[in-house]
Structure 1
């Protein structure tokens, strides 16, 4: 069996804080060494020369013209070696209405929802509902759900009562804006106790749902599985060390493989996940630069970007990966509110 390596790093990880104003996006980016070019000593040496002797994180590189030039050179080098960029992006704030839809419009625990609602073909309908919640719910309402759902430092009974109150609050809030969605959410109240109790049952599943870096990694793996399993390779994943989440990521991987019937796609070709210190792994440093360049673009903090050639060069190289998420065979998954996505494209004068 032939093996190929995927090197992954992330940007914007603030744990369970989905409403962080400074880091609004969580990004996983990786390089798939599809032709094993980075197994060659001369290519490793060339990458080492580009990166320099001391590791510098993309968040620091992005602050200077020299740093941005280095970021661009690394990305262009990886492309020259036919390494494939695999990217998963999530707007953290948008993840909250999506989770509301998943939890409160679960057909098992909501009699207002038709049984087939959980099938993949209804994903677009779920996304439409999430877009409507994103538009209509206030910051405080989203924050309240996130805290209740996380359930930190509260008993199961208290969590249940708080969620019932939240459902009533949202029903009243939505009634004058979107009565259809208000009625559907109201239907979750009757069985909310059983709904929440079912989620408490498996630690790995809970972590996979609550931690953006874990469930987004699953979506990242699905991209690889769906787009590259046809080549017959097995894939070894080398992820930057995560002192807090490494065991949870392994738990998620095992949970998916042991409960395949619960998930939209199987991970038959992801052979193993390893963790490596980025200081000792040049390809992870290259993945950090890819993730950081995407985050830099999505933040839209460079108001005078048109006068920053070093930024424009990265933008022209990387934004096609972001726009590519709209295509069926894309190597990018982008969990985003449509209006926000269009505003980002408008900011950078991009056609869709």
Structure 2
């Protein structure tokens, strides 16, 4: 099978851009037995010689109607949507938990947290960090991305003060212990530390600390598991990535050459890849109508998700409602979806489109 991939919501190091709170990476798995000529003809008739850019089309009813036609065309031809949806603020919060509350490096944290048996889950801890002020989250995210130890320590110090004056006061002492860890291990966030073994074996650039990089890793994992379960192989065609194509290619190569990298997420070791992914190519979206079809999917998701953040000022007309209903209906196969979005946004999203449509 062929997987066509694009992204939406890329903001580089501006992790808390209020206009782009989500990062979506994904697209469509195209079955080999599809009636290619008929499909291409219908797709071309909708595109009508113009490059599809969802970021432009979502801005008006006619554009949203076009996006809806494209998504329904893919559904009618049994293309399979596969995508990762990441709320950036929640992703950063989860990264804080992984780095600052790792029992391997923080003696105040029991190993039972790995199994979510500490009386509080890692998800709950991420929600606590989610409530930190924007400037603290941004400082940590940028310092972490740039391997800036002084910036990381400053942001952690500010977290300690913040939690010490909040209802999560016990968390303050635990986080404070991570400062000793950083002081005692100056290379803690550096490339050569085993704490980052997999990512830095693959690519020693700061791209490995970005939302994009970890999301792409997750997408590969989903695709590989799907291919293994269905006894097929998958080739990936991704829209050109001027910033990340090198690191993405390095990751893909490292994960598919057969070396037995192991992930211990939530203390459940598993091989990262089963060699079901055959190749990764980057092409200009102008030259691939199927990548444009993927752009329609991820761009539509990005537009719909924003209603979970701000459901009062954004206007919902008939075209928005129909597009949202169609996009949300795609959440049926959880094996082809990674949903890293806070419960608050998920609930808001459901209420907006369910209640307002009645």
TM-score of the two chains, using structure 2 as the length reference = 0.84
What residue number does 2:195 align with? none
Task: State the distance in 1 between where 2:157 and 2:21 align.
Answer: 28
Q: Does 1:340 align with 2:345?
A: yes
What residue number does 1:311 align with? 320
- The C-alpha deviation readout for 1:106-132, integer Å capped at 9, x for no partner, is 22221112346456999x922210011
Q: Is the 8 A contact 2:84 2:338 kept in 1?
A: yes
Q: Structure 1 residue 28: deviation in Å?
A: 1.0
Q: Does 1:74 align with 2:70?
A: yes
Q: 1:129 aligns with which of 120, 125, 129?
A: 125
What residue number does 2:162 align with? 173
Q: Is the 8 A contact 1:7 1:31 kept in 2?
A: yes
What residue number does 2:144 align with? 149
Secondary structure of 1:334's counterpart equals strand
Q: Is the 8 A contact 2:25 2:85 kept in 1?
A: yes
Q: Structure 1 residue 169: deviation in Å?
A: 2.4
Q: Structure 1 residue 16: deviation in Å?
A: 2.2
| Superposed structure 1 runs of 4+ greater than 4 Å apart | 116-122, 205-209
Task: State the distance in 2 between where 1:119 and 1:226 align.
Answer: 23
What residue number does 1:293 align with? 300
- The C-alpha deviation readout for 1:260-304, integer Å capped at 9, x for no partner, is 124655222222211111111111000000011111111227733
What residue number does 2:13 align with? 16
- The C-alpha deviation readout for 1:62-121, integer Å capped at 9, x for no partner, is 122221111111111111110001121111122221111111112222111234645699
Q: 1:110 aligns with which of 91, 94, 106?
A: 106
What residue number does 2:248 align with? 249
Richer in helix (by share): 1
Sort the Cα spacing of 1:125 and 1:209 in 2 relative to 1 into closer, same or farther, 3 A: farther
Sort the Cα spacing of 1:232 and 1:205 in 2 relative to 1 into closer, same or farther, 3 A: farther
Q: Is the 8 A contact 2:140 2:156 kept in 1?
A: no
What residue number does 1:192 align with? 182
Q: Is the 8 A contact 2:144 2:189 kept in 1?
A: no
Larger mean Cα displacement after TM superposition, 180-189 or 193-202:
193-202
- The C-alpha deviation readout for 1:178-224, integer Å capped at 9, x for no partner, is 12322321221222142744532237266464221221111122222
Task: State the distance in 2 between where 1:120 and 1:6 align.
Answer: 34
Q: Is the 8 A contact 1:35 1:83 kept in 2?
A: no
What residue number does 1:27 align with? 24
Q: 1:97 aligns with which of 93, 112, 122?
A: 93
Q: Does 1:277 align with 2:284?
A: yes
After the TM superposition, which residues 209-228 of structure 1 pair with which residues of structure 2 at under 5 Å, given as runs?
A: 209-228=208-227
Q: Is the 8 A contact 1:35 1:82 kept in 2?
A: no
TM-score of the two chains, using structure 1 as the length reference = 0.86
Task: State the distance in 2 between where 1:67 and 1:253 align.
Answer: 35
Q: Structure 1 residue 330: deviation in Å?
A: 4.0
Task: State the distance in 2 between where 1:196 and 1:147 align.
Answer: 17
Sort the Cα spacing of 1:332 and 1:121 in 2 relative to 1 into closer, same or farther, 3 A: farther
Sort the Cα spacing of 1:68 and 1:144 in 2 relative to 1 into closer, same or farther, 3 A: same
